[in-house]
Amino acid sequence: MAQKPSLPKGTRDFGPIQMYRREYILDTIKHVFRKYGFMPLETPAMENLSVLTGKYGDEGDQLLFRILNSGDFLNSTSAEDFENGSKAVLPKITKKGLKYDLTVPFARYVVMNRNEIAFPFKRYQIQPVWRGDRPQKGRYQEFYQCDADVVGTDSLICEAELLAVVEEVFQLLKFNDYSVSLSSRKILEGIAEICGAANQFSTFCTILDKLDKIGLDRVVEELQKSGIKPEGTEKLKEVLSIEGDNEHRLNQLASYFDNSEVGMKGISEARETLTHLVDLGATGNKVNIDFTLARGLSYYTGMIYEVKPTSINMGTITAGGRYDNLTGVFGMPGVSGVGISFGIDRIYDTLAELDLFPEDKARSTKVLITNFDQDSQKHAISILSALRKEGVACEIFPESAKLKKQMAYADKKRISYVLMVGSREIETGVYTLRDMSNGDQMELDLGQLLKQLSDQGA
């Protein structure tokens, strides 16, 4: 009995319709990245474990997919190694692993190629990564990341450009229902200072990050349990009640930061970023200063931002921020950078839920040419060649068959048009073109046919 095929858990196939739609998203993002001077980069699917381990914390190390050494991978092990457990065995049977993200391999690339790279270095990278996570809805063991980073400069023009990239990408995707939250680690450090939580910054941010889920009262309760005094949480309530446009909110916050140098620095950087964004020609009308944004602050050191849809229930679809010392773990300290990551899978789900994919992105072939017999086949092939020279995506049914079978094929493949080529058409030079969406038919000679289909951008 034949074995029933299956996929590894946490992976999936993408059929033609899904691939056309994914390519539509990725091609749009690539187009904008290149406009802004980002250059493409790819790194191998696997890296030496010496590159990967110790970069993602203990939990990340546990989620790495390790690759067994080639040949007899048990050759260098002993019974004693197995008695001592996996920590003794693993270094002897595996030296490589699948990459966990795009950032660490990027840092490794920068260090290895520092003499050839022109700094600031602007790169984009779209590749799969692998994590041994427990598969669940929206979480996979193999998935794509889509990153762009600028390294080797502290300029806030870079932050503004990445926000402009977000605006342009979503304009091109015809997606308008989103908001961009913008903040800074320095702003949050300033808020922590005025709340008396400067020495508990990590705890302060972790609790504040729960605001959307548990509400302000519970946040205050948890902060007080962690040792922050009531007068500190009252200051926090005052700050979180500040309303108005971005400039007003920053001005109001500045009035609390008289004695916080780091807080004022954060406000200055936020203002400069917003000014650059407008100067770049972006509207910036989706960008909102958010004093509660605390994502990834163990990693980010400056401006931070995240994008969420506003009309549907979906998590963050794009996010990023400024980080320092990207390459320090590889012996090249002091390289600051800023990056952004588009969540391809969530963007796909968002566009699908809002029905924003163009219809033609689910089609490959525009025209199917019929094939009834040997004579019509030869004639049809010559038309096929003429159409393709005009850039029209077309195909011939590869074997002679009844019209019903060929029409069923065109319908199932969602082909836009069927071109009839039979003895009558060969004799008169006039062909019947059927629109598969409504059944309408047109009688066209070859010149009219070429113009009709090439004018449509088929």
pLDDT of amino acid 209? 85
- Residue 381: in which H helix or E strand, if any? helix 374-389
Per-residue model confidence (pLDDT) at position 361? 64
When pLDDT is averaged across residues 412-424 and rounded to a whole number, the result is 92
Name the band, by pLDDT with cuts 50, 70 and 90, for residue 3.
confident
Do the annotations mark residue 300 as ligand-binding?
yes
Give the per-residue pLDDT at 360: 72
Q: Is the pLDDT of residue 382 over 90?
A: yes
Q: What pTM did the predictor assign?
A: 0.88
pLDDT at 117 over 70: yes
Nearest Cα residue to 184 out of 282, 296, 286: 296
Check the annotation: does 417 bind a ligand: no
Find out whether 101 is annotated in a ligand binding site. Answer: yes
Instruction: Give pLDDT, residue 319.
Output: 93
User: Residue 194 has which token pair?
Assistant: 């005025």
Domain boundaries, the chain: 10-45+99-173+311-357, 178-310, 363-455
189-233 confidence digits (pLDDT tens): 999 999 998 898 888 988 888 888 898 899 889 889 888 898 989
Other CB atoms within 10 Å distance of the CB of residue 25? 21
pLDDT of residue 325: 83
Q: Does the annotation place 125 within a ligand binding site? A: no
458: confidence class by pLDDT, cuts 50, 70, 90: very low
**409 labelled ligand-binding:** no
Question: Was 74 annotated as part of a binding site?
Answer: no
Is 363-455 the same fold as 178-310? no
pLDDT of 81 reads 63
What confidence score (pLDDT) does residue 454 get? Answer: 82
pLDDT in tens, 19-57: 999 999 999 999 999 999 999 999 999 999 999 988 887
pLDDT recorded at residue 202: 87
**Predicted local confidence at residue 83, as pLDDT:** 65
| pLDDT score of 289 | 95
Segment 5-31 mean pLDDT: 93
pLDDT band at residue 297 using 50, 70 and 90 as cut-offs = low
* Percent residues over pLDDT 70 in the chain: 96
352's CB contacts (< 8 A; 6+ apart) are 21
pLDDT band at 85 (very low <50, low <70, confident <90, very high): low
Architecture of the domain made up of 10-45+99-173+311-357: 2-Layer Sandwich (3.30)
Pairing of the two strands 94-98 and 66-68:
antiparallel
Q: Is the pLDDT of residue 457 over 60?
A: no
- Classify domain 178-310 at the CATH superfamily level: Bira Bifunctional Protein; Domain 2 (3.30.930.10)
Instruction: With a cut of 50, say whether residue 421 has pLDDT above it.
Output: yes
Each residue's pLDDT tens digit, 349-375: 999 999 999 977 667 789 999 999 998
Q: Is 263 helix (H, G, I), strand (E, B) or coil?
A: helix
> Is residue 299 part of an annotated ligand binding site?
yes
Residue 145 annotated in ligand binding: yes
Q: Report whether 376 contacts 423 (CB < 8 A).
A: yes
pLDDT at 88: 67
Average pLDDT value over all residues in the chain: 90
CA dihedral over 343, 344, 349, 355, signed as positive or negative: positive
CB 339 within 8 A of CB 220: no
Fold designation for 363-455: Rossmann fold (3.40.50)
pLDDT of residue 145: 93
